[in-house]
Amino acid sequence: MIEKPWEGRFTEKTDRSVELFTSSIHVDKRLYAYDIDGSIAHCKMLAHTGIIASEEAEKLIEGLGAIRREFQRGKFEFDHSLEDIHMHIETRLFQEVGKVAQKLHTARSRNDQVALDSRMYLRDETRTVIRLLTALNAAIVSLAEEHIDTIMPGYTHLQRAQPVLFAHYLLAYFEMFMRDSARFCDCFKRINVMPLGSAALAGTTYPIDRHYTAGLLQFPEVSANSIDAVSDRDFMIEFLSCASICMVHFSRLSEEMILWSSTEFGFIELPDAFSTGSSIMPQKKNPDVPELVRGKTGKVFGDLMALLTVMKSLPLAYNRDMQEDKPLLFDAVDTLKACIEIYTAMTPKLKIRKDRMYQASTTGFLNATDLADYLVGKGMTFRESHSCVGKTVGYALNHGKELHELTLDEMKSFSPLIAEDIFSVLTPEQMIQRRTSFGGTARENVRAAIQTARQRLADAACP
Ligand code: ARG
Protein backbone atom coordinates (compact mmCIF):
# COMPACT_ATOMS: atom_id res chain seq x y z
CA MET A 1 0.00 0.00 0.00
CA ILE A 2 1.45 3.36 -1.03
CA GLU A 3 1.18 6.12 1.51
CA LYS A 4 -0.70 9.23 0.48
CA PRO A 5 1.13 12.52 1.04
CA TRP A 6 -1.89 13.93 2.86
CA GLU A 7 -2.95 11.00 5.03
CA GLY A 8 -1.33 12.20 8.28
CA ARG A 9 -4.51 13.35 9.98
CA PHE A 10 -6.61 10.34 8.92
CA THR A 11 -7.32 7.33 11.06
CA GLU A 12 -9.08 5.28 8.40
CA LYS A 13 -7.86 4.19 4.99
CA THR A 14 -9.67 5.76 2.07
CA ASP A 15 -12.42 3.53 0.80
CA ARG A 16 -11.49 1.94 -2.52
CA SER A 17 -14.67 3.25 -4.12
CA VAL A 18 -13.72 6.76 -3.03
CA GLU A 19 -10.25 6.35 -4.47
CA LEU A 20 -11.73 5.36 -7.79
CA PHE A 21 -14.33 8.11 -7.66
CA THR A 22 -11.90 10.90 -6.87
CA SER A 23 -9.01 9.75 -9.01
CA SER A 24 -8.22 11.76 -12.10
CA ILE A 25 -4.99 10.08 -13.12
CA HIS A 26 -6.52 8.50 -16.24
CA VAL A 27 -7.19 12.02 -17.48
CA ASP A 28 -4.45 14.24 -16.07
CA LYS A 29 -1.55 11.87 -16.82
CA ARG A 30 -1.51 13.79 -20.07
CA LEU A 31 0.02 16.70 -18.14
CA TYR A 32 3.06 14.72 -16.94
CA ALA A 33 5.68 16.62 -19.00
CA TYR A 34 4.36 19.99 -17.83
CA ASP A 35 4.21 18.78 -14.25
CA ILE A 36 7.85 17.72 -14.45
CA ASP A 37 8.98 20.94 -16.17
CA GLY A 38 7.09 22.98 -13.59
CA SER A 39 8.63 21.00 -10.73
CA ILE A 40 12.14 21.40 -12.13
CA ALA A 41 11.68 25.17 -12.40
CA HIS A 42 10.23 25.25 -8.87
CA CYS A 43 13.24 23.28 -7.61
CA LYS A 44 15.68 25.65 -9.26
CA MET A 45 13.90 28.59 -7.69
CA LEU A 46 13.99 26.95 -4.25
CA ALA A 47 17.76 26.54 -4.61
CA HIS A 48 18.20 30.03 -6.08
CA THR A 49 16.49 31.58 -3.07
CA GLY A 50 18.35 29.35 -0.62
CA ILE A 51 15.17 27.61 0.55
CA ILE A 52 16.80 24.27 -0.25
CA ALA A 53 20.48 23.44 -0.84
CA SER A 54 21.70 23.29 -4.43
CA GLU A 55 22.85 19.66 -3.97
CA GLU A 56 19.31 18.82 -2.93
CA ALA A 57 17.92 20.58 -5.96
CA GLU A 58 20.30 18.67 -8.22
CA LYS A 59 19.15 15.37 -6.76
CA LEU A 60 15.52 16.29 -7.23
CA ILE A 61 16.07 17.43 -10.79
CA GLU A 62 17.95 14.25 -11.63
CA GLY A 63 15.12 12.18 -10.17
CA LEU A 64 12.53 14.12 -12.11
CA GLY A 65 14.54 13.52 -15.28
CA ALA A 66 14.53 9.79 -14.62
CA ILE A 67 10.76 9.87 -14.10
CA ARG A 68 10.33 11.73 -17.38
CA ARG A 69 12.25 8.97 -19.17
CA GLU A 70 10.05 6.40 -17.50
CA PHE A 71 6.97 8.14 -18.92
CA GLN A 72 8.56 8.42 -22.34
CA ARG A 73 9.31 4.69 -22.41
CA GLY A 74 5.75 3.94 -21.26
CA LYS A 75 7.10 2.33 -18.11
CA PHE A 76 5.53 4.62 -15.51
CA GLU A 77 3.06 2.78 -13.32
CA PHE A 78 -0.26 4.29 -12.29
CA ASP A 79 -2.27 3.61 -9.19
CA HIS A 80 -5.67 5.10 -8.44
CA SER A 81 -4.82 5.41 -4.76
CA LEU A 82 -2.52 8.26 -5.78
CA GLU A 83 -5.34 10.37 -7.22
CA ASP A 84 -3.63 12.54 -9.77
CA ILE A 85 -0.52 13.19 -11.80
CA HIS A 86 0.98 15.48 -9.16
CA MET A 87 0.87 12.87 -6.40
CA HIS A 88 2.06 10.15 -8.74
CA ILE A 89 5.19 12.06 -9.66
CA GLU A 90 5.89 13.18 -6.12
CA THR A 91 5.50 9.66 -4.77
CA ARG A 92 7.62 8.16 -7.52
CA LEU A 93 10.28 10.80 -6.81
CA PHE A 94 10.39 9.65 -3.21
CA GLN A 95 11.06 6.08 -4.36
CA GLU A 96 13.73 7.38 -6.73
CA VAL A 97 15.71 9.84 -4.56
CA GLY A 98 14.50 9.20 -1.02
CA LYS A 99 13.61 11.64 1.70
CA VAL A 100 14.83 14.75 -0.12
CA ALA A 101 11.83 14.31 -2.45
CA GLN A 102 9.70 15.61 0.38
CA LYS A 103 11.28 19.04 -0.07
CA LEU A 104 9.96 19.49 -3.61
CA HIS A 105 6.54 20.53 -2.44
CA THR A 106 7.89 23.31 -0.19
CA ALA A 107 6.09 26.59 -0.88
CA ARG A 108 3.73 24.91 -3.28
CA SER A 109 0.27 23.38 -3.27
CA ARG A 110 -1.44 21.15 -5.79
CA ASN A 111 -3.81 24.05 -6.30
CA ASP A 112 -1.22 26.31 -7.88
CA GLN A 113 0.54 23.29 -9.40
CA VAL A 114 -2.50 22.15 -11.39
CA ALA A 115 -3.18 25.72 -12.48
CA LEU A 116 0.40 25.94 -13.74
CA ASP A 117 0.30 22.60 -15.56
CA SER A 118 -3.00 23.43 -17.23
CA ARG A 119 -1.73 26.79 -18.42
CA MET A 120 1.49 25.30 -19.78
CA TYR A 121 -0.45 22.61 -21.59
CA LEU A 122 -2.96 25.02 -23.06
CA ARG A 123 -0.24 27.46 -24.07
CA ASP A 124 1.29 24.75 -26.27
CA GLU A 125 -2.02 23.58 -27.64
CA THR A 126 -3.15 27.11 -28.46
CA ARG A 127 0.03 27.63 -30.44
CA THR A 128 -0.66 24.37 -32.27
CA VAL A 129 -4.24 25.36 -33.04
CA ILE A 130 -3.05 28.70 -34.47
CA ARG A 131 -0.46 26.93 -36.62
CA LEU A 132 -3.04 24.42 -37.86
CA LEU A 133 -5.47 27.20 -38.73
CA THR A 134 -2.76 28.93 -40.76
CA ALA A 135 -2.16 25.73 -42.73
CA LEU A 136 -5.88 25.34 -43.35
CA ASN A 137 -6.13 28.94 -44.52
CA ALA A 138 -3.21 28.42 -46.90
CA ALA A 139 -5.08 25.47 -48.42
CA ILE A 140 -8.23 27.58 -48.76
CA VAL A 141 -6.36 30.40 -50.49
CA SER A 142 -4.69 27.96 -52.90
CA LEU A 143 -8.04 26.50 -53.87
CA ALA A 144 -9.42 30.03 -54.31
CA GLU A 145 -6.52 30.85 -56.61
CA GLU A 146 -7.43 27.90 -58.82
CA HIS A 147 -11.01 29.08 -59.01
CA ILE A 148 -10.73 32.73 -59.81
CA ASP A 149 -12.94 32.08 -62.86
CA THR A 150 -15.37 29.60 -61.36
CA ILE A 151 -18.85 31.06 -61.07
CA MET A 152 -21.45 29.75 -58.66
CA PRO A 153 -24.83 30.91 -57.44
CA GLY A 154 -24.65 32.73 -54.14
CA TYR A 155 -27.54 32.04 -51.77
CA THR A 156 -29.67 33.78 -49.22
CA HIS A 157 -32.32 31.74 -47.41
CA LEU A 158 -30.79 28.85 -49.39
CA GLN A 159 -32.50 30.31 -52.45
CA ARG A 160 -30.40 31.30 -55.43
CA ALA A 161 -29.61 35.00 -55.05
CA GLN A 162 -26.78 36.39 -57.16
CA PRO A 163 -23.79 34.85 -58.88
CA VAL A 164 -20.43 35.02 -57.11
CA LEU A 165 -16.98 33.66 -57.77
CA PHE A 166 -16.32 30.38 -56.00
CA ALA A 167 -13.01 31.95 -54.96
CA HIS A 168 -14.97 34.73 -53.24
CA TYR A 169 -17.05 32.17 -51.37
CA LEU A 170 -13.89 30.36 -50.25
CA LEU A 171 -12.35 33.58 -49.03
CA ALA A 172 -15.37 34.10 -46.79
CA TYR A 173 -14.19 31.04 -44.84
CA PHE A 174 -10.64 32.37 -44.94
CA GLU A 175 -11.91 35.48 -43.12
CA MET A 176 -13.74 33.41 -40.52
CA PHE A 177 -10.73 31.23 -39.79
CA MET A 178 -8.45 34.27 -39.67
CA ARG A 179 -10.69 35.79 -37.02
CA ASP A 180 -10.60 32.50 -35.13
CA SER A 181 -6.86 32.57 -35.26
CA ALA A 182 -6.78 36.15 -33.99
CA ARG A 183 -9.13 35.15 -31.16
CA PHE A 184 -6.82 32.32 -30.11
CA CYS A 185 -3.84 34.72 -30.22
CA ASP A 186 -5.66 37.09 -27.92
CA CYS A 187 -6.75 34.30 -25.60
CA PHE A 188 -3.11 33.17 -25.47
CA LYS A 189 -2.13 36.36 -23.61
CA ARG A 190 -4.43 35.46 -20.74
CA ILE A 191 -3.32 31.82 -20.68
CA ASN A 192 0.31 32.88 -20.53
CA VAL A 193 0.32 34.00 -16.88
CA MET A 194 2.23 32.11 -14.18
CA PRO A 195 0.18 31.08 -11.12
CA LEU A 196 2.85 29.07 -9.26
CA GLY A 197 3.75 30.47 -5.85
CA SER A 198 0.16 31.24 -4.98
CA ALA A 199 0.33 28.02 -2.96
CA ALA A 200 -2.99 26.79 -1.55
CA LEU A 201 -4.66 30.21 -1.86
CA ALA A 202 -2.93 32.76 0.33
CA GLY A 203 0.64 32.77 -0.90
CA THR A 204 3.50 31.39 1.18
CA THR A 205 5.73 32.29 4.10
CA TYR A 206 8.88 31.18 2.27
CA PRO A 207 10.99 33.82 0.53
CA ILE A 208 10.22 32.52 -2.96
CA ASP A 209 10.98 34.39 -6.17
CA ARG A 210 8.01 33.91 -8.47
CA HIS A 211 9.46 36.04 -11.24
CA TYR A 212 12.51 33.81 -11.31
CA THR A 213 10.33 30.72 -11.82
CA ALA A 214 8.31 32.56 -14.45
CA GLY A 215 11.49 33.40 -16.32
CA LEU A 216 12.55 29.76 -16.32
CA LEU A 217 9.18 28.69 -17.70
CA GLN A 218 8.96 31.53 -20.22
CA PHE A 219 5.98 33.25 -18.69
CA PRO A 220 6.04 37.01 -19.36
CA GLU A 221 3.70 37.66 -16.46
CA VAL A 222 3.05 36.45 -12.93
CA SER A 223 -0.49 36.29 -11.53
CA ALA A 224 -1.19 39.24 -9.23
CA ASN A 225 -3.57 37.69 -6.71
CA SER A 226 -3.04 34.31 -5.09
CA ILE A 227 -6.74 33.65 -4.48
CA ASP A 228 -7.61 34.42 -8.09
CA ALA A 229 -4.67 32.42 -9.43
CA VAL A 230 -5.87 29.13 -7.94
CA SER A 231 -9.59 29.75 -8.59
CA ASP A 232 -9.43 31.04 -12.12
CA ARG A 233 -10.42 28.87 -15.04
CA ASP A 234 -11.38 31.81 -17.27
CA PHE A 235 -8.46 31.01 -19.53
CA MET A 236 -9.98 27.60 -20.25
CA ILE A 237 -13.48 28.97 -20.71
CA GLU A 238 -12.11 31.55 -23.09
CA PHE A 239 -10.28 28.89 -25.07
CA LEU A 240 -13.47 26.81 -25.21
CA SER A 241 -15.42 29.86 -26.41
CA CYS A 242 -12.88 30.47 -29.17
CA ALA A 243 -13.02 26.77 -30.04
CA SER A 244 -16.83 26.85 -30.12
CA ILE A 245 -16.91 29.82 -32.48
CA CYS A 246 -14.36 28.11 -34.71
CA MET A 247 -16.52 24.97 -34.70
CA VAL A 248 -19.53 27.06 -35.78
CA HIS A 249 -17.52 27.94 -38.87
CA PHE A 250 -16.59 24.32 -39.49
CA SER A 251 -20.17 23.27 -39.01
CA ARG A 252 -21.46 25.77 -41.56
CA LEU A 253 -18.77 24.77 -44.04
CA SER A 254 -19.60 21.12 -43.43
CA GLU A 255 -23.29 21.68 -43.98
CA GLU A 256 -22.44 23.17 -47.38
CA MET A 257 -20.07 20.35 -48.28
CA ILE A 258 -22.84 17.89 -47.49
CA LEU A 259 -25.49 19.73 -49.45
CA TRP A 260 -23.24 20.47 -52.39
CA SER A 261 -22.04 16.92 -52.77
CA SER A 262 -25.65 15.69 -52.99
CA THR A 263 -27.09 14.73 -56.37
CA GLU A 264 -29.50 17.64 -55.99
CA PHE A 265 -26.70 20.21 -56.02
CA GLY A 266 -23.80 18.28 -57.52
CA PHE A 267 -21.45 21.27 -57.10
CA ILE A 268 -18.61 19.29 -55.60
CA GLU A 269 -17.45 15.76 -55.29
CA LEU A 270 -15.71 14.72 -52.12
CA PRO A 271 -12.53 12.71 -52.68
CA ASP A 272 -13.09 8.94 -52.45
CA ALA A 273 -10.36 8.78 -49.85
CA PHE A 274 -12.44 11.08 -47.62
CA SER A 275 -15.79 9.39 -48.08
CA THR A 276 -17.33 6.16 -46.95
CA GLY A 277 -19.81 3.71 -48.41
CA SER A 278 -22.97 2.11 -47.19
CA SER A 279 -23.05 -1.47 -45.96
CA ILE A 280 -26.36 -2.05 -47.74
CA MET A 281 -26.68 0.43 -50.63
CA PRO A 282 -23.87 -0.19 -53.12
CA GLN A 283 -24.30 3.12 -54.94
CA LYS A 284 -23.71 5.28 -51.88
CA LYS A 285 -20.80 7.60 -51.28
CA ASN A 286 -21.41 9.34 -48.00
CA PRO A 287 -19.97 12.66 -46.76
CA ASP A 288 -19.09 11.24 -43.33
CA VAL A 289 -16.16 13.57 -42.73
CA PRO A 290 -18.17 16.81 -42.92
CA GLU A 291 -21.05 15.10 -41.13
CA LEU A 292 -18.81 14.13 -38.24
CA VAL A 293 -17.29 17.59 -38.07
CA ARG A 294 -20.83 18.99 -37.93
CA GLY A 295 -21.67 16.48 -35.20
CA LYS A 296 -18.52 17.15 -33.18
CA THR A 297 -19.48 20.81 -33.06
CA GLY A 298 -22.13 19.84 -30.54
CA LYS A 299 -19.55 18.16 -28.37
CA VAL A 300 -17.32 21.25 -28.25
CA PHE A 301 -20.30 23.48 -27.39
CA GLY A 302 -21.07 20.94 -24.66
CA ASP A 303 -17.54 21.23 -23.27
CA LEU A 304 -17.96 25.00 -23.04
CA MET A 305 -21.40 24.78 -21.42
CA ALA A 306 -20.21 22.12 -18.99
CA LEU A 307 -17.23 24.14 -17.80
CA LEU A 308 -19.30 27.31 -17.44
CA THR A 309 -21.72 25.30 -15.33
CA VAL A 310 -18.98 23.70 -13.23
CA MET A 311 -17.55 27.12 -12.41
CA LYS A 312 -20.67 29.21 -12.05
CA SER A 313 -21.31 29.06 -8.30
CA LEU A 314 -18.00 27.99 -6.87
CA PRO A 315 -16.93 29.94 -3.81
CA LEU A 316 -13.31 31.07 -3.89
CA ALA A 317 -10.76 29.60 -3.95
CA TYR A 318 -10.04 26.04 -5.17
CA ASN A 319 -12.83 23.44 -5.08
CA ARG A 320 -12.52 19.87 -6.17
CA ASP A 321 -15.28 20.45 -8.71
CA MET A 322 -12.59 22.08 -10.78
CA GLN A 323 -10.96 18.75 -11.44
CA GLU A 324 -13.77 18.23 -13.95
CA ASP A 325 -12.24 20.93 -16.15
CA LYS A 326 -9.61 18.76 -17.77
CA PRO A 327 -11.69 16.11 -19.57
CA LEU A 328 -13.69 18.97 -21.11
CA LEU A 329 -10.65 20.95 -22.14
CA PHE A 330 -8.81 17.93 -23.52
CA ASP A 331 -11.84 16.82 -25.49
CA ALA A 332 -12.28 20.24 -27.08
CA VAL A 333 -8.57 20.55 -27.91
CA ASP A 334 -8.47 17.09 -29.51
CA THR A 335 -11.70 17.59 -31.41
CA LEU A 336 -10.82 21.01 -32.74
CA LYS A 337 -7.35 19.94 -33.87
CA ALA A 338 -8.74 16.86 -35.60
CA CYS A 339 -11.34 18.94 -37.45
CA ILE A 340 -8.79 21.50 -38.64
CA GLU A 341 -6.43 18.77 -39.77
CA ILE A 342 -8.98 16.76 -41.69
CA TYR A 343 -10.23 19.86 -43.52
CA THR A 344 -6.68 20.89 -44.37
CA ALA A 345 -6.08 17.48 -45.90
CA MET A 346 -9.41 17.33 -47.72
CA THR A 347 -9.61 20.86 -49.15
CA PRO A 348 -7.00 20.49 -51.95
CA LYS A 349 -8.63 17.22 -53.01
CA LEU A 350 -12.17 18.51 -53.45
CA LYS A 351 -13.44 18.05 -56.97
CA ILE A 352 -15.19 21.24 -58.02
CA ARG A 353 -17.84 20.77 -60.70
CA LYS A 354 -17.59 24.13 -62.39
CA ASP A 355 -20.10 23.22 -65.10
CA ARG A 356 -22.79 22.42 -62.52
CA MET A 357 -22.06 25.58 -60.56
CA TYR A 358 -22.19 27.69 -63.69
CA GLN A 359 -25.37 26.06 -64.90
CA ALA A 360 -27.03 26.75 -61.56
CA SER A 361 -26.06 30.41 -61.72
CA THR A 362 -27.83 30.90 -65.05
CA THR A 363 -31.20 29.64 -63.84
CA GLY A 364 -33.39 30.92 -61.04
CA PHE A 365 -33.47 34.63 -61.95
CA LEU A 366 -30.14 35.49 -60.35
CA ASN A 367 -29.97 38.45 -62.74
CA ALA A 368 -33.19 40.13 -61.54
CA THR A 369 -31.34 42.65 -59.34
CA ASP A 370 -29.12 43.53 -62.25
CA LEU A 371 -32.09 44.18 -64.49
CA ALA A 372 -33.47 46.49 -61.80
CA ASP A 373 -30.10 48.25 -61.47
CA TYR A 374 -30.05 48.60 -65.27
CA LEU A 375 -33.38 50.40 -65.19
CA VAL A 376 -32.13 52.67 -62.41
CA GLY A 377 -29.18 53.47 -64.68
CA LYS A 378 -31.71 54.52 -67.31
CA GLY A 379 -33.45 56.90 -64.92
CA MET A 380 -36.05 54.85 -63.01
CA THR A 381 -36.14 54.92 -59.19
CA PHE A 382 -35.11 51.66 -57.54
CA ARG A 383 -38.55 51.05 -56.02
CA GLU A 384 -40.16 51.43 -59.43
CA SER A 385 -37.62 49.21 -61.13
CA HIS A 386 -37.99 46.59 -58.37
CA SER A 387 -41.71 46.34 -59.05
CA CYS A 388 -41.24 46.41 -62.81
CA VAL A 389 -38.72 43.55 -62.67
CA GLY A 390 -40.99 41.66 -60.30
CA LYS A 391 -43.69 41.73 -62.97
CA THR A 392 -41.16 40.67 -65.62
CA VAL A 393 -40.09 37.72 -63.46
CA GLY A 394 -43.76 36.74 -63.03
CA TYR A 395 -44.24 36.81 -66.78
CA ALA A 396 -41.07 34.81 -67.43
CA LEU A 397 -42.09 32.21 -64.85
CA ASN A 398 -45.46 31.78 -66.58
CA HIS A 399 -43.70 31.28 -69.88
CA GLY A 400 -41.07 28.90 -68.58
CA LYS A 401 -38.20 31.25 -69.43
CA GLU A 402 -35.32 32.97 -67.67
CA LEU A 403 -35.05 36.79 -67.91
CA HIS A 404 -32.24 36.60 -70.47
CA GLU A 405 -34.35 34.23 -72.57
CA LEU A 406 -37.10 36.80 -73.10
CA THR A 407 -37.13 38.62 -76.44
CA LEU A 408 -36.35 42.32 -76.51
CA ASP A 409 -40.00 43.02 -77.35
CA GLU A 410 -41.22 40.99 -74.41
CA MET A 411 -38.90 42.96 -72.14
CA LYS A 412 -39.85 46.29 -73.65
CA SER A 413 -43.48 45.57 -72.81
CA PHE A 414 -42.50 46.00 -69.14
CA SER A 415 -40.41 49.11 -69.70
CA PRO A 416 -39.56 51.06 -72.84
CA LEU A 417 -36.24 51.92 -71.19
CA ILE A 418 -34.95 48.42 -71.95
CA ALA A 419 -32.75 48.26 -75.04
CA GLU A 420 -30.55 45.75 -76.88
CA ASP A 421 -27.60 46.32 -74.48
CA ILE A 422 -29.60 44.52 -71.75
CA PHE A 423 -28.44 41.08 -72.88
CA SER A 424 -24.78 41.67 -72.08
CA VAL A 425 -25.81 43.04 -68.67
CA LEU A 426 -27.61 39.85 -67.69
CA THR A 427 -24.78 37.32 -68.03
CA PRO A 428 -23.25 35.93 -64.81
CA GLU A 429 -19.79 37.10 -65.93
CA GLN A 430 -20.99 40.69 -66.33
CA MET A 431 -22.92 40.62 -63.11
CA ILE A 432 -19.79 39.56 -61.25
CA GLN A 433 -17.58 42.06 -63.06
CA ARG A 434 -19.80 44.94 -62.03
CA ARG A 435 -19.56 44.17 -58.32
CA THR A 436 -16.42 46.19 -57.80
CA SER A 437 -17.32 47.73 -54.42
CA PHE A 438 -14.60 46.95 -51.89
CA GLY A 439 -15.13 43.42 -50.59
CA GLY A 440 -17.39 42.57 -53.56
CA THR A 441 -17.05 39.62 -55.90
CA ALA A 442 -15.62 41.29 -59.06
CA ARG A 443 -12.71 39.23 -60.36
CA GLU A 444 -10.13 41.98 -59.86
CA ASN A 445 -11.28 42.45 -56.28
CA VAL A 446 -11.00 38.76 -55.59
CA ARG A 447 -7.60 38.57 -57.23
CA ALA A 448 -6.42 41.39 -54.96
CA ALA A 449 -8.05 39.71 -51.95
CA ILE A 450 -6.07 36.55 -52.69
CA GLN A 451 -2.84 38.56 -52.78
CA THR A 452 -3.71 40.23 -49.50
CA ALA A 453 -4.67 36.90 -47.98
CA ARG A 454 -1.27 35.45 -48.87
CA GLN A 455 0.40 38.45 -47.29
CA ARG A 456 -1.72 38.17 -44.17
CA LEU A 457 -0.76 34.53 -43.82
CA ALA A 458 2.91 35.35 -44.25
CA ASP A 459 2.64 38.12 -41.64
CA ALA A 460 0.65 36.08 -39.13
CA ALA A 461 2.90 35.85 -36.10
CA CYS A 462 2.32 32.89 -33.83
CA PRO A 463 2.64 33.81 -30.14
N1 ARG B 1 -6.40 16.73 -9.32
C2 ARG B 1 -6.70 18.03 -8.84
C3 ARG B 1 -7.40 18.85 -9.93
O4 ARG B 1 -7.30 18.48 -11.04
C5 ARG B 1 -5.46 18.73 -8.42
C6 ARG B 1 -5.66 19.75 -7.37
C7 ARG B 1 -6.05 19.06 -6.13
N8 ARG B 1 -6.13 19.95 -5.01
C9 ARG B 1 -6.74 19.62 -3.92
N10 ARG B 1 -6.76 20.47 -2.96
N11 ARG B 1 -7.33 18.46 -3.74
O12 ARG B 1 -8.04 19.83 -9.68
Any atom of ligand 1 within 6 Å of the Cβ of 110: yes
Which among 106, 125, 150 is the end of a domain? 106
Asked if 377 and 422 sit in the same domain, the reply is yes
Asked if 41 and 84 sit in the same domain, the reply is yes
Which one of 157, 279, 313, 437 is the catalytic residue? 157
Asked if 311 and 445 sit in the same domain, the reply is no
Any atom of ligand 1 within 6 Å of the Cβ of 24: yes
Asked if 75 and 143 sit in the same domain, the reply is no
Torsion over CA of 124, 125, 130 and 134, rounded to 10 degrees?
100
**Catalytic annotation on 157?**
yes
User: Which of 91, 198, 320 to probe ligand 1 with, by most ligand atoms within 8 A of CB?
Assistant: 320
Asked if 334 and 385 sit in the same domain, the reply is no
Q: What is the pLDDT of residue 1?
A: 53
For the CA of 83, the nearest atom of ligand 1 = 1
Q: What is the pLDDT of residue 459?
A: 92
User: Which of 110, 113, 324, 330 to probe ligand 1 with, by most ligand atoms within 8 A of CB?
Assistant: 110
User: Which of these, 175, 59, 252, 126, lies nearest to 446 by C-alpha position?
Assistant: 175
Percent of the chain with pLDDT over 70: 100
Asked if 259 and 131 sit in the same domain, the reply is yes
Asked if 351 and 373 sit in the same domain, the reply is no
Separation between Cα atoms, residue 164 and residue 300, nearest integer Å: 32
Which among 344, 359, 374 is the end of a domain? 359
In whole angstroms, how far apart are CA 78 and each of 2, 28, 74, 201? 11, 11, 11, 28
In the chain, how many domains are there? 3
Domain that includes residue 60, residue range:
7-106
Answer whether 131's CB lies under 8 Å from 122's CB: no
pLDDT above 60 (res 105): yes
Q: Is position 215 within any domain?
A: no
Q: What is the pLDDT of residue 76?
A: 97
pLDDT digits (tens, 9 = 90+) for 132-187: 999 999 999 999 999 999 999 999 999 999 999 999 999 999 999 999 999 999 99
- Considering the chain, what is the average pLDDT of its residues? 95
Which among 88, 106, 124 is the end of a domain? 106
Q: What is the pLDDT of residue 2?
A: 67
Asked if 319 and 415 sit in the same domain, the reply is no
Q: Would you tell me the crossing angle of helices 110-146 and 85-97 to the nearest 10 degrees?
A: 120
Full 3-state SS string of 144-177: HHHCCCCEEEEEECCEEEEEEEHHHHHHHHHHHH
Asked if 72 and 128 sit in the same domain, the reply is no
Q: Is position 217 within any domain?
A: no
Give the best-scoring range by mean pLDDT among 61-70, 373-382, 401-410, 414-423: 61-70
Question: 113: pLDDT confidence band, cut at 50, 70 and 90?
Answer: very high
CA–centroid distance, residue 185 to ligand 1 (Å): 28
Question: 12: pLDDT confidence band, cut at 50, 70 and 90?
Answer: confident
- Indicate which CATH number applies to the domain containing 421: 1.10.40.30
Separation between Cα atoms, residue 188 and residue 185, nearest integer Å: 5
pLDDT above 60 (res 126): yes
For the CA of 318, the nearest atom of ligand 1 = 10
- Indicate which CATH number applies to the domain containing 36: 1.10.275.10
Asked if 229 and 263 sit in the same domain, the reply is yes
Question: 275: pLDDT confidence band, cut at 50, 70 and 90?
Answer: confident
pLDDT digits (tens, 9 = 90+) for 45-89: 999 999 999 999 999 999 999 999 999 999 999 998 999 999 999
Q: Is position 212 within any domain?
A: no
pLDDT above 90 (res 3): no
Question: 5: pLDDT confidence band, cut at 50, 70 and 90?
Answer: confident
Q: Is position 440 within any domain?
A: yes
Asked if 431 and 355 sit in the same domain, the reply is no
Q: What is the CA radius of gyration of the chain?
A: 31
Q: Is position 444 within any domain?
A: yes
Any atom of ligand 1 within 6 Å of the Cβ of 23: no
Instruction: Determine the Cα angle at 58 with ends 56 and 64, to 5°.
Output: 105
Q: Is position 189 within any domain?
A: yes
Any atom of ligand 1 within 6 Å of the Cβ of 113: no
Mean pLDDT, rounded, for 15-41: 96
Mean pLDDT, rounded, for 6-20: 86
User: Which of 35, 323, 325, 326 to probe ligand 1 with, by most ligand atoms within 8 A of CB?
Assistant: 323
pLDDT above 70 (res 97): yes
User: Which of these, 420, 442, 421, 439, lies nearest to 431 by C-alpha position?
Assistant: 442
* Sequence-distant (≥ 6) Cβ neighbours of residue 305 within 8 angstroms: none
Predicted TM-score of the model (pTM): 0.94
Q: Is position 218 within any domain?
A: no
Q: What is the pLDDT of residue 11?
A: 81
pLDDT above 90 (res 10): no
Torsion over CA of 195, 200, 201 and 202, rounded to 10 degrees?
-100
Q: What is the pLDDT of residue 460?
A: 84
Asked if 242 and 332 sit in the same domain, the reply is yes
Q: What is the pLDDT of residue 277?
A: 79
- Indicate which CATH number applies to the domain containing 316: 1.20.200.10
Which residue lies with its CA nearest to atom 11 of ligand 1? Answer: 320
Percent of the chain with pLDDT over 90: 92
Q: Is position 219 within any domain?
A: no
Separation between Cα atoms, residue 244 and residue 256, nearest integer Å: 19
